Amino acid sequence: MPNPQRTYNEAVSEARARLIQGGLTAEVVQRIREALAESLIRLTSEAEAGRLTPERLENLRQSLDRALQSYRDQAVVVLEQGRRDAMQLAVQGHTAGLTAALEEAGQAGSIAVGETFTDVPDQVLEVQAARRAVDTTDTMATLVNRSVQGAADDIDEQLGRIVDQGVDNEMVAEDIARVLARGNPDLQNTLKQMGRGTDVDIDPEADPVALDEDALQQAQRVEYEARRIAVSETNSHYHEADVVSAIQSPVVDLLRWRTSQLHTHEKRYVPDVCDFLEQADLFGYGEGLYHPAGVPALVHPHCQCRVETVLKPPEEYGTPNRALPEERELSETTVEDALREIEGDRTVTETYAQRQAEALNEHLSTAFEAGRDIMQ
């Protein structure tokens, strides 16, 4: 028996799988690793052999600055492309879902599918600042630059103390590369692969002889920070495009919030805002159901939750979206009581419930603000 709703959701789920399961996100993360590896190889290849002198120290500092800035610039480009690719994946999923749903309902050709989602990426970018909690999310360029600047400052401080130790430039450059790769097996493997065919040999397992590794913990986080942003940003932009596509889809009625498999009761961070969103009936549609224009953005970094479409009856395909409901402001008591009823390892304190209520209210408010603009 035809089931257009299941068919639509399967098409969207397939697109999302290409994002999450070894697809786009993994590709973006690997390209970021390659950008850092390339910058480290450049650093070590630029360093001349010879005892470190004040003049050579300044040259080494300039090489480090060029390498890190090159990494920053490449990472931002990679992340920006990843955001756009993630949005396009969501559009492809909804396009395939709409086409299949219309066919199953015997309405193929009744709606111009190809013209339905053409402006989704542009619209996502226009409303993103409002839909997201802008005070908890910074731009990719700023975050990557902050991490790179922190690494440069820490390493520069270390360089200043080793001029008189008789260490040569080349060895110090290799030490910098080792420190930035230390504790990161994937980056180490990328370095080994990219070092083939060159005269640069960075052994990430070797012990640094010039730099104090314990004093360079912030520098070691430079790739982790970009990787964290990559995962969060690709997920967030897919989610945003998924929601905007649902608003524009002529067959979608509501969206259902679904937590990821990370949200099992054994996890130490369960319950949280996502568990609340999945179980609450805030607008009278049913548990976890939201008007497409009122669905919050992903509430925290690394969130892998998703939305699931609820279609209109076939005879209502092509009709306008239902009106937005009235906004709600959740009390701390309401949130606290709901969280205490959700099984999980986290202890729900008044302070924790207060923070979750504040986050929920902020995200719901910004979602409605942007949703009204989208529906105009």
Write the pLDDT tens digit of every residue in 31-58: 999 999 999 999 999 998 889 898 999 9
Q: What is the mean pLDDT of the chain?
A: 88
> What does the pLDDT read at residue 139?
62
Percent of the chain with pLDDT over 70: 95
Q: CA–CA separation, 151 vs 154, rounded Å?
A: 5
Higher pLDDT, 376 or 229: 229
Residue found under tokens 């205490």: 340
> What does the pLDDT read at residue 256?
98
**What are the domain boundaries of the chain?**
4-104+140-224, 254-376
Higher pLDDT, 8 or 114: 8
Residue 199's Cβ-count burial label (10 Å; 0-12, 13-18, 19+) is exposed
Q: Residue 317: is its pLDDT beyond 90?
A: yes
> What does the pLDDT read at residue 354?
95
> What does the pLDDT read at residue 137?
41
Write the pLDDT tens digit of every residue in 126-177: 777 665 544 434 566 777 888 888 899 999 988 888 888 888 999 999 999 9
Sorted by sequence, the CB contacts under 8 Å of residue 361 that are 6+ apart come out as: 329, 330
Higher pLDDT, 288 or 215: 288
Choose among 200, 304, 299, 314: nearest CA to 251. Answer: 314
> What does the pLDDT read at residue 39?
93
User: What's the mean pLDDT in 267-274?
Assistant: 88
What is the gyration radius of the CA atoms in the chain, in angstroms? 25
Percent of the chain with pLDDT over 90: 53
Q: Indicate the pLDDT class of residue 201, thresholds 50, 70 and 90.
A: confident
Q: CA–CA separation, 222 vs 39, rounded Å?
A: 12
